[in-house]
Every structure is written in C-alpha cells, then in structure tokens.
Chain A
C-alpha cells in the first residue's frame, strides 16, 4: 500500500512539474538563435568561403554551434576579436591555413596567358570577372573582394593575388599602430 502511495506521490509531483515545463516551453519560446544574426553582422560578408563554409551566414551558424572563431581570413584579427567578445571566448590568432597578411588584395588575371575557359567566372562569388568562352577574361577591381577562390580553378595559373596599391581613396588611418602609453 505504502509503495503505491509513494509511486502516486512522485508521479503526481513529476506530472505537475512536467506541465509547468510544458507551459514554460511555450511561453518562453525562442524562434531563431539571435546570436547567429549578431555573428553574421560582424563577418565581412565577402561570401568567399575561405572558412570552409559556403558563405558568411553558414559560418556564423557554425560558430554559434561551436566552430573555431579564427577562420575568417578577410575579416582578419579585428573580426576574430569582435567574435571572441560576443561569444565570450579567448581571442585566437588567425587559422594557420590562411596567410596572416590581410592587406587588401584583388585578383589579377595575366591576360596574355588566359585561354578563356570561364572556370574562374564560375568560381567567383561576386561576379567580378568579366569574359566569355574563348575570350580573354579580366577582373573588375572595384567588385573583387580578394577571396582568392578563382586562383585554384584556373588551369593555366594565370590568376594571382596582388596587394591593392595604397591610394588617397583607400588609405585608412591605422590608429592602433601608434603606440599609446598610459601614464600613472
């Protein structure tokens, strides 16, 4: 008799709490993970895929699920630091798979060598390559994000990444490089 009472008591407590949790799960429902949106906003939106994901949004989703934060080469150190702040993890140096030189670069087609195969056009995520089959291709510098996705598919290796020359238009203040000392 006593054991039945025990089962009934525990069962009813469990049922009561279960109902409470069921109610709470409806009342406090979270539609989408807002952290993904915040991460996506921090990423440079080059959609270059150097992180191994098809674009910035999928990488944001992956970071939210625990992927390493140091895979965004175009974003560089700045982006890693911002992601680390948002996620509450340690800042990591950029992944070894990527070169650390993150000066802005654009692809450059050595036009004498181009055979007009259109393979780089298909690889370009931002349509920055102009050309047609059996016609020489060229890069629209203003559109190129420097993602270097077009370099690998070229069968004659006529695409190289060149550092953008610094002009008055794209020169940026690099205030962090000026040493600032706090005096007591």
Chain B
C-alpha cells in the first residue's frame, strides 16, 4: 500500500511528466491560456492516460508477450491510445457540448500527446505490474493536470501584468514554464523508490 502511495507521489511531483521529464509540452503550452479549458483538458487527459496505461498493460501481458511479439508494442499502444481518445471524444461530445467546444482541436490531439505513449512505454520499461501501471498512468496524468492548471492560472494573471514588450505572449510563458520546472526540481529526493 505504502509502495503504491509512494509511486503516486513520485509520479505526480518528483518525476513530473511535464516539468521534469519534458513530455506532453504541446498541450502544456497550447491549452493553458484559460483555466477553464485547462481544467477540461486535465480531466480528459486523466481519463485517457489512466485507461490507456491499463489497456496497454493488458495488451502487452496477455497478447504480445505470450505470442513473442514484443516488437509490436509501440504500434499496438498507438492503436490503443487512438481508440481511447476517440471514445473519450464521443463521450465528451455527447455529455458536455461546451467542454467539447472549449477543448476543440486539443481533444483529438491527446492522441499525439507524447506523455500518453510515454506512460505506456515507461510502464513496460519499469516492469510495472497491473496496479502499478494504473497508478503510474493516473499519477502521471494528475501531475500533468496539476502543472497545467497552475500554469494556466499564472498565464491568466500574466495577461494583466505589465510585461516588457519583447517578452509579451509566448516568451513570458516559456520563461514561466522554465521557472516552474526549476521549482519542481526542488522535489528531487522527496521520494526514493
């Protein structure tokens, strides 16, 4: 139990996917200009990542490994992720039209969010078992969401701030992201696994 909790904390804070491992930077920069959108994106990503890491674990363990087809992992993971994303898109479209509108192009773009494929492949490399895989996927997406929401809140404040002209727009966002990354490095050594 403690192991799972430690794994969760380590993926959320210490090995944060965005700020420490630099995965999933595209949605991190793209969807963070409004907090509302960022929260919507976070929920979609949490759902997709957790489900994708679960399914990709099942596909590797019960299909690819017994049949000696490990070299197909990347391909089948992409298939799994694409399906989960499509499915999520349909459900979101049905249940919340305004969220669907807010997320716009970024919802199908979760497919190409490298953090999602990263989670599936890292699960394999770190030889996680079933529950560890789910927790790792969940933790990674919670970490992603945490950082995304914090970052978008900061960017909303920044739009009102008096920023020197050369730093306006993307430049100040990049600097902010860099400073956040530095801050998250402070978590190194919090959890030893």
**Which A residues are closer than 8 A to B by beta carbons?**
2, 5-6, 9-10, 13-14, 17, 20-21, 24-25, 28-30, 33-35, 64, 86-88
Cβ–Cβ contact A21 & B72, under 8 A: no
Cβ–Cβ contact B83 & A21, under 8 A: yes
Residue picked from B86, B90, B91, most chain A C-beta under 10 Å: B90
- Beyond A29-B94, A30-B97, 8 additional pairs, beta carbon < 8 A: A13-B76, A20-B83, A21-B86, A28-B90, A30-B93, A35-B101, A64-B101, A88-B98
Cβ–Cβ contact B101 & A10, under 8 A: no
CA distance A163 to B82 in the complex (A): 57
Partner of B34, one of A10, A29, A88: A88
Cβ–Cβ contact B79 & A88, under 8 A: no
What interface size band does chain B fall in? 20 to 34
Ranked nearest first, the 7 interchain pairs of A and B with the lowest CB-CB distance are: A28-B94, A17-B83, A88-B102, A28-B90, A34-B97, A24-B90, A35-B97
CA distance A144 to B105 in the complex (A): 41
Minimum Cβ distance to chain A for residue B94 (Å): 4
Residue picked from A14, A17, A30, A88, most chain B C-beta under 10 Å: A88
CA distance A17 to B79 in the complex (A): 8
CA distance A33 to B96 in the complex (A): 11
* Contact residues in A for B75 (Cβ distance below 8 Å): 10
Cβ–Cβ contact A10 & B79, under 8 A: yes
Minimum Cβ distance to chain A for residue B98 (Å): 7
Partner of A28, one of B34, B79, B91, B97: B91
Cβ–Cβ contact B86 & A9, under 8 A: no
* Contact residues in A for B97 (Cβ distance below 8 Å): 30, 33-35
CA distance A64 to B104 in the complex (A): 11
- Asked if B132 lies at the interface with its beta carbon under 8 angstroms from chain A, I say no
* Contact residues in A for B98 (Cβ distance below 8 Å): 35, 86, 88
Cβ–Cβ contact A5 & B87, under 8 A: no
Minimum Cβ distance to chain A for residue B117 (Å): 16
Residue picked from B34, B67, B79, B101, most chain A C-beta under 10 Å: B101
CA distance A87 to B37 in the complex (A): 11
* Contact residues in A for B146 (Cβ distance below 8 Å): none
CA distance A2 to B69 in the complex (A): 8
* Contact residues in B for A24 (Cβ distance below 8 Å): 86-87, 90-91
* Contact residues in B for A2 (Cβ distance below 8 Å): 68-69
